[in-house]
Structure 1
Amino acid sequence: MTRALITGATAGIGHAFATELASRGHDLVVVARDTVRLESVATELRSRHGIEVDVLTADLTSDDGLATTVGAVTSTTRPVDLLVNNAGSSFPGWFGTTDVAEEDQQLDLLVRAPMHLMDAALKAMSGRHHGDIINVASMAAFTPRGTYSAHKAWLVNLSQWANLQYADVGVRVQALCPGFVRTEFHQRMGADTSTIPRWMWLRTGPVVKASLRDLERGRSISIPSLRYKVLAFLSRHAPTTLVAKVAKRGR
């Protein structure tokens, strides 16, 4: 039996990872800011699947919260075999018009936190010669869409490199790059999603299952669904001005 640590585990893709991994018999460490929701998730998964679930309340944008989570990743008594860097958020508006303090906080959550947790996981897992890391990125990584897409592009690049660099010591690293997914994400940021066609929306369960399949196959980038694989190909090869214009929809 293995243990997985999931950040942002109370909703959306993070909750779907927790549910799927629990159904496969993995023990969990669930991390988020909301203790009440964490305890609810933990109670449900313990009852349904008979696994151990540790609850860790932490704000990953704070030094204390990040340090506490790093401590859980590097635990030698309860080692983490799979790290899922999922916690994320965004806000409406384009860089240059937004509050730079909010941009700082988003940078901490989407770049600094996963970097620190990856660093801790790579060092711990390399010593044991096994382990997996899934970094939840986005299709936005392949399009010019301001700071959010820049943060996700950084995560994709680092994940690809780490998967190659640490393969010899038994550590696999993946960047999961879904498109639009039915979660609380857009509602929380106050984004208008009315212009996004129905066919572009994915469900969390299939996204997670696709990620785990691709992880077993050693793929450093997972793009769930054929339609988004096609869109990713086009994003990489179409003129940048066209890609930017299309990608601006739904923001």
Structure 2
Amino acid sequence: MPTALITGATAGIGAAFARRLAADGFSLVLVARDHARLADTAAELRKRYGVEAEALPADLSADEGLEAVEERLRAGVDLLVNNAGFGNRGAFLDVPVADELRMLRVHCEAVLRLTRAALPYMISKGRGGVINVASVAAFFTRGTYSSSKAWVVNFSQSAAAEIAGSGVRVMALCPGFVRTEFHERAHMDTSGIPGFLWLPAERVVDEAMRDLARGLRVSVPSARYKAIVGLGRLVPGNLAGRVSTRLGRR
């Protein structure tokens, strides 16, 4: 039975990955900061799908948490989903530097370290995959958040190129607006976002798994967001920056 490790596994896209992979017969290693919620999520998945679901509480902004997850990955998993992430409310100069640095640690350092810890085992087996959850924001200019997600896309493409031919795939997943707790946790007002721009987390996950199987290195779920990204590459940078204030966070 294959094993998947998912960070940020108790809500939103991470929880949708957990349900999909459990339904597909994966054993799960679930990573999140909230011990109680993590244990409840693991128990629910075990009961509903009859799979093994290990709870691994860890704060990925701290060395202790990163080291614990790295150790588990080195023991071997078949799929890693680097999903943990968050947003900061406010413009760059309004956000405390400590909060921005914490974001970089979770979005960039954790993705790098956990991917690096997972790949050797996968390559030794000649199979496996890593999905690094980025955002449509990666293709626009919108502060530290979009900058960190742009790094995730570039890193994932670079890692995929380096291990080409190994049987292991690395892919950046770039969703747009998804119905999750993400915006609520960041205290963001989403009332002005048109309904057609919202995607269900389950659809994002289904398209991600399909694109990983196809060998894509960057996955942008839904035709509407593919069009937005395509247009964003054609418009001037200053205009894209203004547009990204509306479309810049998953």
Following superposition of structure 1 onto structure 2, how do residues 60-209 of structure 1 map, counting pairs within 5 Å? 60-75=60-75, 79-209=76-206
Q: Which amino acid aligns with 1:161?
A: S
User: Contact 1:194–1:250 at 8 Å: present in 2 too?
Assistant: no
- Code of the residue aligned with 2:13 in structure 1: it is I
- Provide the rounded CA distance (Å) in 1 between the counterparts of 2:160 and 2:10: 27
Task: Name the SS of the counterpart of 1:31 in structure 2.
Answer: strand
Deviations 1:189-227 (A, max 9, x none): 001111111111110000000000000000011111100
Equivalent residues of 1:86, 1:135 under 8 A apart: yes
Task: Work out the CA distance in 2 between the residues paired with 1:122 and 1:49.
Answer: 27
Aligned to 1:40: 40
TM-score by length of 2: 0.97
The offset of 1:127, in angstroms, is 2.2
Q: TM-score normalized by structure 1?
A: 0.97
Asked whether 1:2 is paired with 2:9, we answer no
SS of 1:20's equivalent in the other structure is: helix
Q: Percent identity?
A: 51
- 2:147 partner letter: A
Partner in structure 2 of residue 13 of structure 1: 13
- The answer (yes or no) to whether the contact 1:193–1:250 under 8 Å persists in 2 is no
Aligned to 1:212: 209
Give unmatched runs, 5+ long, in structure 1: none
Once the two structures are overlaid, the 10-residue window that deviates more, 144-153 or 37-46, is: 37-46
Q: Amino acid of the residue matched to residue 127 of structure 1?
A: S
* Counterpart-to-counterpart distance in 2, 1:44 and 1:243: 43
The question of whether the paired residues in 2 share the 8 Å contact of 1:195 and 1:250 is answered with no
Return the letter of the residue paired with 2:68. T
Q: Work out the CA distance in 2 between the residues paired with 1:189 and 1:178.
A: 17
Name the CA distance, whole Å, in 2 between partners of 1:73 and 1:236: 36
CA distance in 2, matches of 1:195, 1:247: 14
Matched-pair contact (CA < 8 Å) for 2:176–2:247: no
CA distance in 1, matches of 2:246, 2:204: 22
Aligned-pair CA distance for 1:97: 2.1
Deviation at 1:250, TM superposition (A): 6.4
- List per-residue Cα deviations over 1:5-54 (Å, max 9, x = no partner): 00000000000000000001000000001111111111111111111111
Quote the Cα distance in structure 1 between the aligned partners of 2:13 and 2:145. Answer: 17
| Counterpart-to-counterpart distance in 2, 1:235 and 1:154 | 17
- The letter for the 1-side match of 2:161 is L
Separation in structure 2 between the aligned mates of residue 133 and residue 214 of structure 1, nearest angstrom: 12
Aligned letter for 2:28? L
2:211 and 2:219 in contact (8 A); partners too: yes
**Cα deviation, residue 167, structure 1:** 2.0
C-alpha deviations, 1:54-97, integer Å up to 9, x for none? 1100000010000000011111xxx2000000000111011122
Could you list the runs of 4 or more consecutive aligned residues of structure 1 that deviate by over 4 angstroms after TM superposition?
none
Tell me the amino acid that sits aligned with residue 53 of structure 2: V
Specify every segment of 5 or more residues in structure 2 that has no aligned partner in the other structure, as ranges. none
C-alpha RMSD of matched pairs (Å): 1.0
